[in-house]
Copies of this chain bind each other. A is one copy, B any other.
């Protein structure tokens, strides 16, 4: 029997969003619950299952759903588990796919957020028709989903694609949440950009900038964006620094998989040319000559609010029945 629908679930630190998606990538119905409400994962899954039932009730039967795809922090595609996610209330290893499958009777596939984004781009987004590309997510952290030969790169253990944690500064690098120093994520995530802002304010006490109107510890990437858009020079410099670091990193990524495109996704990518121009310049400058002027730099063209759910849902087409 033809199964024309999938369900996409985006498990975020705050909200869990669920959508019913058709083959063209239209979200027919969606809803959300609070991820952090239940200290016990069983209670959370009960509420999630209830939401899925509410969304399908009266319009779609279970038989019409090909699968459920979930994008979660630290989701492992091979095991179907969420493993030691620092920003979720449930500790250790959670066999998320199995638990949800037991409750819904629908096959569940799971991967991490950035991989889900890459699958979404390949299925519905900017990477349609591409076999080799990299999605870089620029949010609280820097994540990545890598596609080679039309397949997502999971690696032998399911944990490939942690490009936010390549080392960009081997000496006196910034502390990273992973416990090491100098990671790309410590500089070029939204939080990294805010750290750069605080650093610049301290190092350049004589520079005029509207960022001084905000208590340093409260500055967010959005504040720096707003200032830059209003013409603030220091704010533009902060974006330049952030983008240049990304460009340096991208040049190395290209030497690995020589992708057709690198696609930016998530928070910081909303900064448009403020971030893209320095990335492009720095990437081309740092790249091995044989790769120059070949790699497309693009923004995700999935609708921001839907992208995470769409990406996760695309995995639902791949489940084994």
In contact, A163 and B288 (Cβ under 8 angstroms): no
Considering only CB atoms, which chain B residue lies closest to A160 in the complex? B258
Complex Cα distance, B131 from A251, in Å, reads 26
Complex Cα distance, B130 from A180, in Å, reads 30
Provide the A245-274 mask, 1 if CB < 8 A to any CB of B, else 0. 000100111011111100000000000000
Choose from B132, B156, B180, B288 the contact partner of A155 (Cβ within 8 Å).
Answer: B132
In contact, B146 and A259 (Cβ under 8 angstroms): no
Considering residues A151, A178, A255, A258, which has the most beta carbons from chain B within 10 angstroms of its beta carbon?
A255
In contact, B257 and A294 (Cβ under 8 angstroms): no
In the complex, what's the smallest C-beta–C-beta distance from A285 to chain B, in angstroms?
A: 9
Considering only CB atoms, which chain B residue lies closest to A161 in the complex? B256
In the complex, what's the smallest C-beta–C-beta distance from A161 to chain B, in angstroms?
A: 7
Choose from B163, B168, B257 the contact partner of A160 (Cβ within 8 Å).
Answer: B257
A152-179, CB < 8 A from B: 153-163, 165-170, 178-179
Verify if A79 is at the interface (C-beta below 8 Å from B). no
In contact, B148 and A258 (Cβ under 8 angstroms): no
Q: How many copies does the complex hold?
A: 2
Complex Cα distance, B255 from A294, in Å, reads 24
Choose from B155, B167, B168 the contact partner of A257 (Cβ within 8 Å).
Answer: B155
Complex Cα distance, B149 from A151, in Å, reads 8
Complex Cα distance, B146 from A1, in Å, reads 40
Complex Cα distance, B259 from A97, in Å, reads 24
Complex Cα distance, B257 from A149, in Å, reads 13
Complex Cα distance, B291 from A157, in Å, reads 9
- Which residues of B sit under 8 angstroms from A130, Cβ to Cβ? 156
Provide the A272-308 mask, 1 if CB < 8 A to any CB of B, else 0. 0000000000000010111100100000000000000
In contact, A256 and B256 (Cβ under 8 angstroms): yes
Q: Interface size bucket, A side?
A: 35 or more
In contact, B166 and A294 (Cβ under 8 angstroms): no
Choose from B160, B251, B294 the contact partner of A157 (Cβ within 8 Å).
Answer: B294
Given contacts A149-B153, A157-B294, A288-B178, contact A167 B252 (CB under 8 A): yes
- Which residues of B sit under 8 angstroms from A289, Cβ to Cβ? 178-179
Considering only CB atoms, which chain B residue lies closest to A158 in the complex? B258
Given contacts A257-B160, A258-B159, contact A180 B149 (CB under 8 A): no
In the complex, what's the smallest C-beta–C-beta distance from A16 to chain B, in angstroms?
A: 23
Choose from B131, B255, B257, B291 the contact partner of A166 (Cβ within 8 Å).
Answer: B255
In contact, A288 and B153 (Cβ under 8 angstroms): no
Choose from B151, B180, B255, B260 the contact partner of A288 (Cβ within 8 Å).
Answer: B180
A-B contact pairs, 11 of them (CB 8 A): A131-B156, A148-B148, A156-B258, A156-B294, A157-B294, A158-B258, A160-B256, A161-B255, A166-B252, A167-B286, A256-B256
